[in-house]
Amino acid sequence: MALDFSNGLETLDHNFVTAKVEDVVKWARTRSMWPATFGLACCAIEMMGAGGSHYDLARFGMEVFRASPRQADLMIVAGRVSQKMAPVLRQIYDQMMEPKWVISMGVCASSGGMFNNYAIVQGVDQVVPVDVYAPGCPPGPETLIHAIGTLHQKISDGDIFRRREENGGAGAGIHITQLDGQQAPQTIQLGRA
Amino acid sequence: MADPTDAPQEPAGPEDVPEAELLHGVPVTYSRGQRVAHPSASELVDLVRTLHGEGWIQCLDLTAVDYLANPHRTLPASLDPQRFEVVVTLISHRERERLRLRVQVPEDEPVLPTLFEVHPGTEAMEREVFDMFGISFEGHPDLTRILMPEDWQGHPLRKDFALGRIPVQFKGAPSSR
Amino acid sequence: MTIAEDDHPAMSQTTDTDLTSEGAQEMEPRPIAGGVEVLREVGSVLRMSESEAEDGGPGTPDDGEEPDDAETTIINMGPQHPSTHGVLRLMLELDGETVLRTKPVIGYLHTGMEKTGENLTYLQGGTNVTRMDYASPIFNELVFCLAAEKLIGVDLPPRATWIRMLMAELNRLTSHFLFLATNGMDLGSSSMMIYGWREREEGLRILEAITGLRMNHNFIRVGGTAADLPDGWRERLAAYLQTIPERLEEYEALMTHQPIWRDRLQGVGTITTEEALALGATGPILRSTGYAWDLRRDMAHLAYDEVDFDVIVGTYGDSFDRYAIRLNEIRESMRILWQCIEKMPDGDYRVQDKKVTPPPRGRIDESMEALIHHFKIFTEGFKVPEGEVYAAVESPRGELGCYMVSDGSATPYRMHIRGPSFVNLQVLPHLMHGGLIADAVAIISSVDPIMGEVDR
């Protein structure tokens, strides 16, 4: 059927979606955020579990873990960072293109965890700016997805850039709570139905 | 040969066999039922080679202990306790048995001959002992640090190397609920 | 593919010392000949530091000869790379696509666990060691507790031993599923990754029901286990075990019976028994060469002498054999688990020895003694008599051992874990020699190293 432009562009209404540029950019950033493979230790196993079929990161567009940091926008530091690994971590972070985000997964990455000793960097935020801290040892897939969801939410809000500025150029530093192994919230029946 | 029960202190000794026992000329004690031989640094490689011929075909583990903070331990009386001890665990599949060798290594000369020629699998283990304790192995093909960065100073598992703990201050974390 | 003899330009890693000074060592029959002789024929280990490699120097610093015509490149693989085996770095010396020599560089996950272990009590120690081999954490806790129990001299009630064995075999199951998943992924089968994780998830849920955590459980304690098995565990475990066999058949169809899989794994990364024994390799790597050594059968610990299972052994020592061994070990673990379901004895899950076992939580409110006892065990810890022991179990990767020295105090004086992957990694250069780079990924995957226990 030939397009009829007699009414100007009005006939084409149903074929277009209009939005602000910022919203489209945010939509693109959150819906297809590709993580770089940076699994170091036990948290990496749970991260891979989050990519598995029970928890499924694919529904967030994130099941492709890019090996090359040039093709990734999210670095999930999953595991303990040792003294030898810290320069490598920074190198990989530097190779990622802007805009880039960092989730510090697990307590070892967030603060050194239970390993407060000579060998482990006490918090990966000493090396790279962290946007979301996910606690747990290891955080289960549910917590990781909560962290990712929080990051997506903050990007959509634009809040993440505001927080980064507040922190003087460091990462957004959002702390989330651990959500594993918890029952779904129970609804309470009050009085009569 | 000296009687091992002459060794000082220790409580009731399932640790020591009353009569002196030798394995190819090297004193033997028992530790919780496990046979332990105590070769000297010069006897070590020959002993391991001889044992290899007798069926102790795998070297499972080669590690070290720094006895700086605990100098009094149970040893055959003929042996002088030194600061370091290198512990080698061998296994015989035929006898289904393990054998432990403990070699005293002095602090001022922490050098031992390498077991690489007899058991090539000790290569990584000796590197680790070198890295963590500073004990060198003569004849090792590549004695460099394996776990710590190559320019690291100090030997972490020595007792005079601090844990490196940084003091943590737990500030009152606001509850999210 | 047999390991090529001197096809390549002189790249042998000759050292200055040789065995001939000892006499007729080299005349010994091959099976028990010193491993160095066997390995010397095959120059496969790259011995140079990173700075030398950067200078572009092929050839060892030792030998003055340059390789004839052949130009070799040294490339770096890792520590961050998509083959999901953690932070292992390999320096590969290549002649085109063929790998000549390899140097695994480790230490990127060194956590100082052995040093940390010297400052933790025996009750806390489990939390530390469990994070070494994080794919099968129960085994680390198990070997730590076995060593401590040997030092203390405590005997466990049978139920405690059987619960431990059940947990161990369940963990072996989940660890081997992880292997199947990552092996599949490394060879290009992303669906195998998803399938392997699906099976593993169900196993982890059962582990969560029993221990409270999906990973790094800290469930095996000195004297037994932390808690009893929950009600209904038999049905839950049986339901899980019943789903596995037919799915294993599917995976066999996807992998074992598939020509591409076979081509990629058969003949790739072969090792002989002598080499494996000389290098200290244990576990599926040693068994793939045809050598039947399994600590569960040959030096039985826990209650393995009371259950029926087979030891799976390969023939050619190649990657396909290692894959098949682990696949069939899943079946054997299932057999053991069925027997655990049937034969689990009743009784205590923990030895009622006041020295090592804290009182039941309920009693703390009632009795002052119980409160003090609880307090002492959890803060100071219990003291362990002086001595030194070595205890070992068969983990999915090989012989996992713990050498523990006690000085009579509440913390170990020295705690050393013999990680099987640490020793197994030494076979990597010999497996990769003569293969292609593409095989390198398959080979690393078949060795199944877990860097947590390599670096500790």
- Residue of higher predicted confidence among A20 and B1: A20
Contacts of A116 in chain B (CB under 8 A): 163, 165-166, 168
Report, as an integer, the average pLDDT of A11-30: 80
Give which of A62, A78, A121, A131 is closest to A100, Cα–Cα. A131
Q: Does the distance separating the beta carbons of C178 and A42 come in below 8 Å? A: no
Chain B, residues 125-164, CB within 8 A of chain A, namely 148-149, 152, 156, 161-164
* Token pair recorded at residue C405: 């020295």
| Strand A74-78 relative to strand A35-36, pairing | parallel
Instruction: Say what angle helices A141-157 and A21-31 make with each other, to 10 degrees.
Output: 170
Whether C413 sits inside 8 A of B123 (CB atoms) is no
Sheet bearing C98-105, strands edge to edge: C73-77, C89-95, C98-105
With CB atoms and an 8 Å threshold, state whether C116 touches A41. no
Q: What is the pLDDT of residue C393?
A: 93
Distance separating alpha carbons of residues A139 and A145, to the nearest angstrom:
10
pLDDT confidence tier of residue B6, bands split at 50, 70 and 90: very low
The two counts, helices (H) then strands (E), for chain A are 6, 5
Q: Which among C143, A98, C436 has a CA at the least distance from the CA of B60?
A: C143
Question: On the CB side of A86, how many CA atoms lie within 13 Å of its CA?
Answer: 17
pLDDT recorded at residue C145: 93
Q: Does C257 have pLDDT greater than 80?
A: yes
Average pLDDT, stretch C348-356? 82
Exposure string (b/e) for C190-216, b if CB count within 10 Å is 16 or more?
Answer: eebbbbbbbbbbbbbebbbebbebbbb
Residue B14 has pLDDT above 60, yes or no: no
Q: Which residue of C has its CA nearest to B71?
A: C407
pLDDT in tens, A112-142: 888 888 889 998 988 999 999 999 888 988 8
Q: Is the pLDDT of residue C387 over 50?
A: yes
Give the residue from chain A lying closest to B151, CA to CA: A84
- pLDDT, residue C44, reads 66
Peptide bond into C345 cis (omega under 30): no
Contacts of C366 (CB under 8 A, 6+ apart): none
| pLDDT, mean of residues C80-85 | 72
Q: Alpha-carbon distance A124 to A107, whole Å?
A: 10
Q: Which of A37-41, B14-18, B120-124, C53-57 has the highest mean pLDDT?
A: B120-124
Chain A interface, Cβ < 8 Å to C: 37-42, 44-46, 48-49, 51-54, 65, 67, 79-80, 82-85, 88, 92, 114-115, 117-120, 137-138, 140, 180-181
User: Residue C112: its chain B contacts at CB < 8 A?
Assistant: 156, 163-164
What span, in angstroms and rounded, lies between the C-alpha atoms of B19 and B29? 10
- Whole-angstrom Cα distance, residue C126 to residue C222? 9
| Between C399 and B18, the higher pLDDT residue | C399
Confidence of residue C101 (pLDDT cuts 50, 70, 90): confident
pLDDT band at A191 (very low <50, low <70, confident <90, very high): low
Tell me which residue in A83, A116, A122 faces B149 most closely, judged by beta carbons: A83
- Is residue B165 over pLDDT 90? no
pLDDT in tens, C102-129: 888 898 999 889 999 998 999 888 899 9
Dihedral over alpha carbons C85, A98, A175, A144 (to 10 degrees): -40
When pLDDT is averaged across residues C201-206 and rounded to a whole number, the result is 89
One-letter amino acid at C193 equals: M
Q: Do C197 and A120 touch (CB under 8 A)?
A: no
User: Cα(B141)–Cα(C439) distance, rounded to whole angstroms?
Assistant: 27
pLDDT confidence tier of residue C15, bands split at 50, 70 and 90: very low
CA C128 to chain CA centroid, nearest Å? 17
**For residues C392 and C295, what is the distance between their CA atoms, to the nearest angstrom?**
8
Does the CB of B176 have a partner CB in chain A at under 8 Å? Answer: yes
Question: Of the ranges B16-20, C2-6, C32-36, which one carries the lowest mean pLDDT score?
Answer: C2-6
Q: Mean pLDDT across the stretch C17-39?
A: 42
Q: Which residues 6+ apart lie within 8 Å of B133 measured at CB?
A: B64, B66, B84, B110, B155, B157, B158
Cα A39 from Cα A65, distance rounded (Å): 10
Q: What is the pLDDT of residue C84?
A: 55
DSSP string, chain A: -----TTGGGGGGGG-----HHHHHHHHHHHTPPEE--B-SHHHHHHHHHHSTTT-GGGGT----BSSGGG-SEEEEESPPBTTTHHHHHHHHHHSPSS-EEEEESHHHHH-TT--STTB-S-GGGTS--SEEE-SSSPPHHHHHHHHHHHHHHHHHTHHHHHHHHTTTS---EE----TTPPPPPP---S--
Hey, is the C-beta of B166 within 8 angstroms of any chain A C-beta? yes
pLDDT at C194 over 70: yes
Distance from CA of A84 to the nearest CA of B (A): 5
Task: Record the tokens describing residue A60, joined without a space.
Answer: 């967030």
B171: distance to nearest CA of chain A, Å?
A: 14
- Find residues 139-168 of chain B whose CB sits inside 8 Å of chain C: 139, 141-142, 144-150, 156-157, 161, 163-164
B70 interfaces chain C, CB cutoff of 8 Å: yes
pLDDT at position A157 is 86
Flag whether pLDDT at C218 surpasses 80: yes
Which H or E run contains C295? helix C295-298
Q: How many other β-carbons are positioned within 10 Å of the β-carbon of residue B35?
A: 16
C19 vs B73: which has the higher pLDDT: B73
Task: Tell me the count of A-C CB pairs closer than 8 A.
Answer: 104
| Average pLDDT, rounded, for chain C | 82
Any idea what the Cα angle at residue C238 is, between residues C232 and C242, rounded to 5°? 150
| B69–A contact, CB cutoff 8 A | no
**How many other CB atoms sit within 10 Å of the CB of residue C43?**
21
- CA-nearest residue of chain C to A40? C86
Q: Cα(C287)–Cα(C331) distance, rounded to whole angstroms?
A: 16
pLDDT value of position C49: 64
Of all helices (H) and strands (E), which one includes residue B86? strand B84-92
Question: Among residues A88, A76, A89, which one has the least CA distance to residue A43?
Answer: A76
Task: Using alpha carbons, select from C143, C129, C126 the residue that is nearest to residue C221.
Answer: C126
* Contact between residue C224 and residue C350 where contact means Cβ atoms under 8 Å apart: yes
Strand pairing category for C89-95 and C73-77: antiparallel
B68 touches chain C (CB under 8 A): no
The span from the CA of C171 to the CA of C177, in Å, is 10
Q: Quick check: helix, strand or coil at residue A66? A: strand
Question: Which pLDDT band holds residue B150 (cuts at 50, 70, 90)?
Answer: confident
List, for residues C391-448, the tens digit of each pLDDT value.
999 999 999 999 999 988 889 999 999 999 999 998 888 888 888 888 888 899 899 8
Q: Which residue has the tokens 């390498």?
A: B114
Task: Categorize the per-residue pLDDT at B17 as very low, low, confident or very high, splitting at 50, 70 and 90.
Answer: very low
Q: Please answer yes or no on whether C278 and B122 come within 8 Å at the CB atom.
A: no
* Count of CB pairs separated by less than 8 Å, B with C: 137
Cβ–Cβ of A118/B166 closer than 8 Å? no
Nearest residue to C308 via CA among C284, C343, C282, C283: C343
**Looking at the predicted structure, is the pLDDT value of residue B18 above 80?**
no
Per-residue confidence band for C331, with pLDDT thresholds at 50, 70 and 90: very high
DSSP-assigned beta bridge partners for residue C91? C76, C103
Neighbour count for residue C12 (Cβ, 10 Å): 17
Task: Please give the Cα distance from C325 to A151 (Å, whole number).
Answer: 43
Instruction: Give chain B's count of helices (H) and strands (E).
Output: 2, 8
Lowest mean pLDDT among A10-24, C324-338, C346-360: A10-24
Could you tell me the two tokens for A36? 């770089």
Residue-wise pLDDT for B31-70, tens only, equals: 888 889 888 888 888 899 999 888 888 999 999 999 887 7
How many beta carbons lie within 10 A of that of residue C59, not counting itself? 17
Rounded distance, CA B60 to CA C143, Å? Answer: 15
Question: Which tokens in the block code for residue A75?
Answer: 């670095």
pLDDT at C403: 93
pLDDT the model gives residue C401:
93
Phi, psi dihedrals of residue C178, rounded to the nearest 5°: -60, -40
Cβ contact (<8 Å) for C392 and B60?
yes
- Which amino acid is located at A131 in the chain? D
SS3 C387: strand
B164 contacts in chain A (CB < 8 Å): 117-119
**Number of C-beta neighbours around residue C385 at 10 A:** 15
Which residues on chain C are in Cβ contact (under 8 Å) with A52?
193-194, 197-198, 200-201
CA distance linking residue C121 with residue C378, whole number of Å: 9
State the nearest Cα–Cα gap between B174 and chain A, in angstroms. Answer: 11
User: Is A45 a residue whose pLDDT tops 70?
Assistant: yes
Which chain C residues have a beta carbon less than 8 Å from that of B49? Answer: 22, 34
Burial class (CB in 10 A: 0-12, 13-18, 19+), A188: exposed
Strand partners, B29: B36
pTM of the model: 0.85
In this structure, the strands spanning C387-395 and C398-406 are antiparallel
A103 is written with which tokens?
């989730």
Distances (CA, A) of C77 to A87, C45, C188, C430: 16, 15, 18, 17
Closest residue of B to A122, CA-based? B166
Position C95 confidence tier, pLDDT thresholds 50, 70, 90: confident
Beta bridge partners of C93: C74, C101
Check CB contact under 8 Å for C112 and A49: no
Whether B35 contacts chain C with CB within 8 A: no
Give the chains touching B; criterion: ≥3 Cβ pairs < 8 Å: A, C
How many angstroms away from the CA of A180 is the closest CA of chain B?
16
Q: Are C167 and C220 in contact, with CB atoms under 8 Å apart?
A: yes
Q: What is the mean pLDDT of residues C27-41?
A: 47
The yes-or-no verdict on residue A52 having pLDDT over 90 is no
In sequence order, what are the residues at sequence separation of 6 or more whose Cβ sits closer than 8 angstroms to the Cβ of residue C374?
A: C358, C359, C364
* Exposure string for B124-152, b = 16+ CB within 10 A, e = fewer: bbbbbbbbbbbbbbebbbbbebbbbeeeb
Q: Is B8 on the interface with A (CB under 8 A)?
A: no
Two tokens at C103?
């140097």
**pLDDT band for position B177 (cuts 50, 70, 90):** very low
Q: Of the candidates C19, C280, C407, which has its C-beta nearest B121's C-beta? A: C280
> How far apart are alpha carbons B3 and B19 in whole angstroms?
6
Q: Tell me the C-alpha to C-alpha distance, in Å, between residue B27 and each of B19, B36, B43, B71.
A: 11, 9, 11, 20
Q: How far apart are CA C409 and CA C386, in angstroms?
A: 8
Contact of C50 with chain A, judged by CB distance below 8 Å, is answered with no
ipTM of the complex in this document: 0.84
pLDDT mean across residues, chain B: 81
Q: Are C72 and C53 in contact (CB under 8 A)?
A: no
pLDDT of A1 over the 70 cut:
no
Instruction: Name C123's Cβ contacts closer than 8 Å, sequence gap at least 6.
Output: C221, C222, C377, C378, C381, C382
pLDDT of C368 over the 90 cut: no
